[in-house]
Homo-oligomer: A and B are copies of this chain.
Amino acid sequence: MNSHVSQLVDFLRFPSISTDKAHADDVSACGEWLFQKFRAMGLAAEVHGTPGHPIVVARTARTEPRANRRTVLIYGHYDVQPVDPLELWNSPPFEPHISDDGIITARGASDNKGQIFAHILGIEEALAKTDGNLPVDVIFLVEGEEEIGSPNLAHFLRTNREALRCDVIVISDTGMIARGWPTLTYSLRGIGSLEIKVSGPAMDLHSGIYGGAVLNPIAALARLLSSLHDENGRVAVDGFYDEVAPLQAWEKETWAKLPTDDARIRELTGAPKLFGEAGFSAVERIWARPTLEINGIGGGYQGEGTKTVIPREAFAKLTFRLVPNQRPQQVVKQVQSHLARVAAQMPAVRVEFSGGHTGEPFLTDPHSVNGQAAQRALHRVFGKEKEIALIREGGSIPILQDFKEILCPEILLLGLAMPDCRAHSPNETFLLENFEAGIRLNQALLEELAR
């Protein structure tokens, strides 16, 4: 392991913060380091410039006609999140620190350098063991813009569709449900957004001089927002749930056995009580039920004390987390139509909508041929006796839709990050036991996928 960890440390030393222009050279240098690593492994590697940060592609040599062998594309990213607030880090974010109990702390440790590098070292080992004769063809696609929304990835996939042709895509950028629990994530929620602006008087009005004459935009906004849920937390928009794929019996059964429950989730949130749709556990609601959240609201005077104004306008920012088989653009339209109907009852204010960007939900079958291969590989690495956590997650990875539409619908999400890994936060960690497991998992997975 020593060489593996010391190489990971080298990889983690690059401050490859994609959102910060001051770090553009660091991002490039990190991509170049990866390119050299792939070359040293004997892969055919290329660095592709983009209007932003480079995409590194590497592939094993094809020894047989494509028809006779499967091709596995492994996706990851070498860029990382910013590090602020720096003062909260216990060690410098780009000077990886390894604790006695095998935890490496550095920005990007889990997200995503540790995870993608386990795959890379897995292939390196497999190449050595098999004398270059892997059971499948492998393509690595490692980008430098994931943390800024992958603005150049879809275009790259489209223009390199032939070269990137593959039978299955493997991504390790999600989480394990708990330490020692092999985890396969087979669904993610999609997303939709909508911003509402309510405007009334031409200027902030004195509430003494005009109070009573006009409709207060904040009151109108509150009425709009309170129409969106019923008292039990169910979204009260017509048709909102129409296309929600019902939770399967096996999902309810499986999830009930996972090492997480309502009590644990309440504790993590710090909320006085959990709350949501009746008939579902918190995990079920987060993973398999859609939500409509108000992410922000503002209007009028927000300073100390009182200021007796009737504000000229108020706004709220909404996003929806959507599940299979909801179509985000349709849901945004449904919510907007609902709000427009309520607004039509209030002609004393103007209601405008903006935003509306969307990302599709993601669902695969964990019991498909590829899903079963992944489960076999997880069993080989983590132990046959271990229950495999088949989970959905509540978050969204919008680029999966691009992979699905442009390259290949078969996607495996095999996460190695712990729930408490602090991705995007100070003191991001990765378990070295998961790093090592990832290296072995890669090899087991390729063998199982080749069967």
Contacts and interface: CB of A to CB of B under 8 A. Distances in A.
Among A229, A269, A315, the one with the most B-chain Cβ atoms within 10 Å of its Cβ is: A269
B272 A350 contact: yes
Interface string A196-213: 000011110111111111
A244 to B, nearest CB: 12
A271 B214 contact: yes
A219 interface: yes
A233 interface: yes
A301 interface: yes
A317 interface: yes
Interface in A240-277: 265-266, 268-277
Interface string A395-424: 110000000000000000000000000000
Q: How many copies does the complex hold?
A: 2
Among A271, A298, A302, the one with the most B-chain Cβ atoms within 10 Å of its Cβ is: A271
A437 B269 CA distance: 68
A90 interface: no
Given A218-B297, A275-B213, A311-B295, A321 B202 contact: no
A203 B298 CA distance: 19
A426 interface: no
B294 A300 contact: yes
Contacts of A233: 215
A394 B205 CA distance: 12
Given A212-B291, A212-B394, A213-B276, 17 more contacts: A189-B208, A200-B271, A203-B270, A207-B293, A207-B319, A210-B268, A212-B289, A222-B222, A271-B349, A272-B348, A273-B347, A273-B348, A296-B302, A296-B307, A297-B297, A297-B298, A308-B319
30 contacts: A201-B269, A201-B271, A202-B270, A202-B271, A206-B395, A207-B291, A207-B319, A208-B395, A210-B269, A211-B321, A213-B271, A213-B282, A214-B274, A216-B294, A218-B296, A219-B226, A222-B222, A223-B226, A223-B231, A225-B226, A272-B350, A295-B306, A295-B308, A296-B302, A296-B307, A298-B298, A298-B302, A301-B317, A306-B357, A307-B317
